[in-house]
Amino acid sequence: MRKLAFGYSTRCNIRCEHCVAAEDIPDNKKMDHTRAEKIIVEMARAGVGGISFSAGEPFLYLNEIAGLVKLCSQMGIYTRIVTNSFWAKTAEASHGLVSKLKENGLCQLRLSYSRWHQKHVNQENVLNAAVSCQKIGLDYFVSFVTDFSLEDDPYEQFLRDHGLLFFPEPVIYAGRAASFKPRRILTDYQANCCDMNPYLTPDLDMYACCDAGNHFPETDFFFLGNLNDRTMEQLFIITETHQLYSLIRTMGITNIASFTGMKSREIITYGKCQLCRKLFNSPESLAKLRNEVSRLAAWSR
**10 and 137 housed in the same domain:** yes
Whether residue 24 is predicted with pLDDT greater than 70 in this model: the reply is no
The per-residue pLDDT for 43 is 96
Angle at 56 between CA 240 and CA 114, to 5 degrees: 100
In the Cβ-directed half-sphere of 135, how many Cα atoms lie within 13 Å? 14
Region of residue 139 (phi > 0: left; psi between -120 and 50: alpha; otherwise: beta): beta
User: Residue 237 falls within a domain, yes or no?
Assistant: no
User: Residue 34 falls within a domain, yes or no?
Assistant: yes
**152 and 262 housed in the same domain:** no
User: Residue 56 falls within a domain, yes or no?
Assistant: yes
In whole angstroms, give the CA distance from residue 70 to residue 53. 13
Provide mean pLDDT across the span 101-109. 98
For the segment 179-188, what is each residue's pLDDT rounded down to a tens digit? Answer: 788 777 777 8
| Residue predicted with more confidence, 296 or 215 | 296
User: In this predicted structure, which of 5-9, 28-32, 45-49, 108-112 has the lowest mean pLDDT?
Assistant: 28-32
For the segment 268-290, what is each residue's pLDDT rounded down to a tens digit? Answer: 999 899 899 999 999 999 999 99
User: In this predicted structure, which of 35-39, 70-74, 232-236, 269-273 has the lowest mean pLDDT?
Assistant: 269-273
**39 and 134 housed in the same domain:** yes
Q: Are 185 and 270 in contact (CB under 8 A)?
A: yes
The per-residue pLDDT for 26 is 54
Regarding beta strands 223-226 and 205-207, do their DSSP bridges make them parallel or antiparallel, or are they unpaired? antiparallel
At which of 168, 183, 198 does a domain end? 183
User: Residue 61 falls within a domain, yes or no?
Assistant: yes
Whether residue 229 is predicted with pLDDT greater than 80 in this model: the reply is yes
